[in-house]
A and B are shown apart, each in its own frame.
Chain A
């Protein structure tokens, strides 16, 4: 069984690695950590406390904290969807923390409903979603490399700090390459 302290340490370490901060409101933070702990206990993994999980790993993979949507949400709105990870200006109180709109595609959200029903009521079992990057996603995501240490990352914008050598975002340069996912 996990503890609040362990959940907190994991979040703090992750925030530090990628140049994020945890929400400065202690009550809000405590509530989120409790939610993550609760989800880890009931599902076996710490899925986002503010999203409905299916309880099936393959359906919930993208919302396991830190979720796939954190980076673009912090970049655009100053916080991730649940508000656990925030940008520096939000942490320092210069920008107010506001609700972040849901970026997760509706078809993925809908998987949290009725999956158990389908499996128990008929022989038809939905196939596990393929781990593919959609065309839309791949169009937004780009390759970046850290000029200081050579770390390479594939995402919309470079991280605030290099998780390896701690260089600032300014040290990241985009790698121009053509990626073809059509097979």
Chain B
């Protein structure tokens, strides 16, 4: 088996007395969709921050595409092909939807016309073409999440980290979002996905990593995870019924 695209090795982060991420290791291979789940406060978002350079880890290493990117600033991590979305969408509020995406596509297409053409295509991909000229701050929460995904795709990543893009969506919208994620994978993208919507994560993921209190507690295929005693105890409880 080839080396993993993303390799997280014993990543560690403390905030004061809180051990937010404790010796966490995981890997993501090219073409995979890996789910990262765990109860609220288990360190999933912090893990994303550590991988993408928004926080500097206290210990451990992050390797991406064969290079050590531990502690590299976010823009550098992104330029290497690893892009993330935010749990609470962070659009450039006063810029139009299209200009939001142009800010991202300029990374690979420095010429304005090319960046714009690319951005227009992505705005269509996420179904926001009717709102391309609207200031992003005026979008609904759902549309802001769509924009968040379009913007991340604009940087043409090899691996994309999606942080709870489905929270608060209606079942129909979840189905739609799942279709988009499947389409992304078919385009050759690799995904690491934090998600609370179990129907989605269980259907989409090739592999699931479970965290609890900053630690790795289990890993396996969706079927294995659904039956794993430690996972059921820590997290799933009776909430999850197989769809």
Decide whether A and B assemble into one complex: no
A interface list, Cβ under 8 A from B: none
